[in-house]
Amino acid sequence: MCRNLSKYAIFFLFLALSGLIFLLRNIHIVENWNCRTISALYQLQSQVHSSFLTRLPSFNENQTFCAHLGQKPSPEDELEERYLLDSIEWPGPPPRSTPLSLRQTSDPVHSLFTILPNNGRREWHVGEQLEALVQMHDFQGRPKHYGGDLLLARLHSPGLGAAVAGTVVDHKNGIYSALLPLLWVGSAQVEVTLVHSSEAVAVLKQLREERPDRVFFKSLFRLGFLSETTVCNMCLPADQQPLCNYTDLYTGEPWYCYKPKMLSCDTRINHAKGGYLKHLITNKEALLFQSGVNIKVQIHASGADSINVLPPKDKFEEESNSLSPDHIQLTPSGYYFEDSWRPLGGVLMRHFDEPAAIALCLRNKVINMYGDSTVRQWFEYLITSIPEMKELNLQSPKNVGPFMAVDINHNIILKYRCHGPPIRFSTVLSSELRYISNELDGLSGGPNTVVVLSIWAHFSTFPVEVYVRRLRHIRRAVVRLLGRAPGTLVVIRSANLQALDQEVSLFNSDWFSLQLDMVLKAMFKSLNVLMVDAWEMSLAHHLPHALHPPPVIVKNMIDMVLSYVCPENSSLK
Ligand SMILES: *[C@@H]1O[C@H](CO)[C@@H](O)[C@H](O)[C@H]1NC(C)=O
Ligand SMILES: *[C@@H]1O[C@H](CO)[C@@H](O)[C@H](O)[C@H]1NC(C)=O
């Protein structure tokens, strides 16, 4: 008994001493002793608090994405949403009776593709399309009998700097057609890649629907010397702790944080990425995500993997030998030739190799960029490419912004601001947390205004409905902007492919991005905006996929934007 007491006494003495040391170490920072004491105590408390951040909310299946929150969609919106969700419906493996075993899943090494003859002949002409049949096999070499694998296909001629993205059609029986448009003369090689097996996609799909909390966010609350940090997300289970409701008044976009214990909800200072959850998948599921085994591995050809493309046939011959109507006619958004992107439809590509040409094109323009880091890349490209462009120091946090640059001589203003939550940037001040649609409502617009939007990468951990809702708000704001200020140039940058390993796949897989990208393109299709197809530009290109594509791809994207802003004949007007 006595010995126990003395043990406790030593323990308390140790606590008191460490508290004193902690206080003394902080003495020089604060002027007033009383405040200092309080401050140090609360710092200690909030540190204790922060370590509790790992105690995250537990979701049940009905509370995952708060679809019921936000503005109520109109009946047309609901119809569109249903259509969009149907259009990205992804086939999955049939329900299994035995436990999942890697051996029965798609294996790129055992799988093969075959270039099919063209109407019975091994002869191809520009203007036609090539079809390669892919037969998937499992790790035991047995053919697969269901679809759902994520495959990519491209056709390229390295010597010509030519390449184009293909379309993959899932026949849902283990066989896929890779369709490749033939757009140039010469030898061309087919490349087919398995990104994820259908079994892996099924895991990703389940994560997307059930674990939108797998990336979590946090906010710092502060008033005077009090500070606390709590967990935030688009949707938080309400039954566990009181919430602060930061739902946007204009759009109804939901956002919540747990209410700090001592502070009120108005004391939120910032927003930041909290972290990524671990142990999301079982050990067995982890086998489906192995770099070099079943993540982004090329599939070999059973015979030749290249063809020789001949010049276009003449009109008469073409008609008599045309493709059967059940063939999908491909509409790639463009292709590379001599390493530069040639968009098909709309923009006539110009090249802005001279820095002075960029400045002349953007003279008198205000370029407003909103979105994630993939458009911040464009901002950075333009600042370094325009000689007289000077970035102002707005005291913004690095990589977060907002940023602004000006070229006084050419009267160019360049601005960048990140999109609203969910955003996984390091620390964004609450006062700088804005939704794109609200920002667009604050623009006067006009022919000297260019708006550039890129919003995709931070939505991959949420169900697609969340993205549809966000794009709906942005699209409405774009329609209002184009209505009140015709001539405003709006550019949308689509999603791109990125480097994947197991960890990245669970949060940012290309499968998530592809689904979002299809929604994005469908939702902005009928609007008078320029879509820069970053997906096809990164898929067709020979350089490795990267979240932030290499400069050569960015240059092509910027050239396309500038060609849209300053078409060839614009100087004649
Ligand atoms: C989810 O909702 C369904 C239907 O509303 C209900 O039957 C089910 O019990 C709910 N599940 C949980 C975990 O609350
Ligand atoms: C949060 O606020 C919005 C807008 O005021 C409201 O519609 C929503 O129901 C609130 N959420 C909760 C959980 O109370």
Locate 211 and state its tokens: 């674990």
| pLDDT value of residue 73 | 82
Q: Among 58, 59, 61, 209, which is best to mutate for testing ligand 1, by the most ligand atoms less than 8 A from CB?
A: 61
Residue with tokens 């090329």, as numbered in its chain: 298
Residue 11 burial by Cβ neighbours in a 10 Å radius (0-12, 13-18, 19+) = exposed
The residues, ordered by sequence, that sit 6+ positions from 133 with a Cβ below 8 Å of its Cβ are 113, 114, 116, 175, 176, 177, 178
Per-residue pLDDT band at 55 (split at 50, 70, 90):
very low
The residue-averaged pLDDT of 235-243 equals: 83
- 202 to 94, 166, 274, 316, 451: CA distances (angstroms): 10, 23, 26, 48, 37
Kindly give the distance from the C-alpha atom of residue 239 to the centroid of ligand 1, in angstroms, as a whole number: 15
Q: Is 459 helix (H, G, I), strand (E, B) or coil?
A: helix
For residue 134, which of 143, 126, 142 has the smallest C-alpha distance?
A: 143
Pairing of β 366-371 and β 412-418: parallel
Which of 568, 518, 510 shows the shortest CA–CA distance to 538? 510
Q: Which ligand is nearest to the CA of 63?
A: 1
Closest residue by CA, ligand 2 atom 14: 245
Indicate which residue's Cα is closest to atom 3 of ligand 1. 62
Q: Which residue has the tokens 């970035």?
A: 391
Q: Token pair of 358, please?
A: 């960029």
Does ligand 1 lie within 6 Å of residue 569's CB atom?
no
Contacts 24+ apart (CB under 8 A), 261-267: 261/49, 261/228, 262/226, 262/228, 263/221, 263/222, 263/223, 263/226, 263/227, 263/228, 264/223, 267/221, 267/222, 267/223, 267/226
Which residue reads 């550019």 in tokens?
491
Neighbour count for residue 409 (Cβ, 10 Å): 11
Spell out the alpha helix ranges (H) of 211-340.
Answer: 283-286, 315-320
Mean pLDDT of 187-208: 97
Is the pLDDT at 36 greater than 90? The verdict is no
Is residue 149 a contact partner of residue 196, using CB atoms and an 8 Å limit?
yes
**65 Cα to the center of ligand 2, angstroms:** 14
Which atom of ligand 2 is the closest one to the Cα of 245?
1
DSSP state of 264: -
Q: Which ligand is nearest to the CA of 62?
A: 1
DSSP state of 282: -
CA 303 to chain centre: 36
What's the pLDDT score for residue 79? Answer: 94
Question: Which CA distances in Å does 107 have to 160, 190, 195?
Answer: 32, 19, 11
Mean pLDDT of 438-452: 98
User: If pLDDT is split at 50, 70 and 90, which confidence band does 552 have?
Assistant: very high
Ligand 2 atom at minimum distance from 249 CA? 4
pLDDT at 43: 43
Nearest residue (CA) to ligand 2, atom 12: 245
Which residues pair with residue 175 across a beta bridge?
135
Angle at 20 between CA 14 and CA 25, to 5 degrees: 125
What mean pLDDT is predicted for residues 212-231? 95
Report the range of poorest mean pLDDT among 86-100, 276-290, 307-321: 307-321
The amino acid sitting at 79 is L
Neighbours of 144 (CB within 10 A): 24
Q: Is the pLDDT of residue 37 over 60?
A: no
CATH architecture of 102-203+288-320: Sandwich (2.60)
Nearest CA to ligand 1 atom 13: 60
61 in contact with ligand 1, CB cutoff 6 A: yes
- pLDDT, tens digit (0-9, with 9 covering 90-100), for 258-302: 999 999 999 999 999 999 999 999 999 999 999 999 999 999 999
Q: Which ligand is nearest to the CA of 255?
A: 2
Note whether 431 and 270 are within 8 A (CB).
no
- CA of 245 from ligand 2 middle (Å) equals 6
**Amino acid of residue 481:** L
Domain ranges of the chain: 102-203+288-320
The neighbouring-strand residues paired with 417 are: 370
Contacts of 488 (CB under 8 A, 6+ apart): 443, 445, 446, 447, 449, 450, 451, 481, 482
74 — pLDDT class (breaks 50, 70, 90):
confident
Query: What are the pLDDT digits (tens) for 400-434?
Result: 999 999 999 999 999 999 999 999 999 999 999 99
Which pLDDT value is given to residue 99? 83
| Average predicted confidence (pLDDT) for the chain | 88
**pLDDT category, 11, cuts 50, 70, 90?**
low
Residues with CB under 6 A from ligand 2: 238, 245, 247
Candidate of 69, 240, 246 to mutate for ligand 2, largest count of ligand atoms within 8 Å of Cβ: 69
Q: What is the mean pLDDT of residues 493-508?
A: 98
Structure tokens at 80: 């569109």
Q: How confident is the model at residue 41 (pLDDT cuts 50, 70, 90)?
A: very low
Cα torsion for 415, 416, 420, 422, to the nearest 10°? 170
Q: What DSSP element (H or E) covers 337?
A: strand 334-337
| pLDDT score for 21 | 54
| Residues paired with residue 157 on neighbouring β-strands, in sequence order | 162
Helices of type H across 333-435: 355-361, 373-385
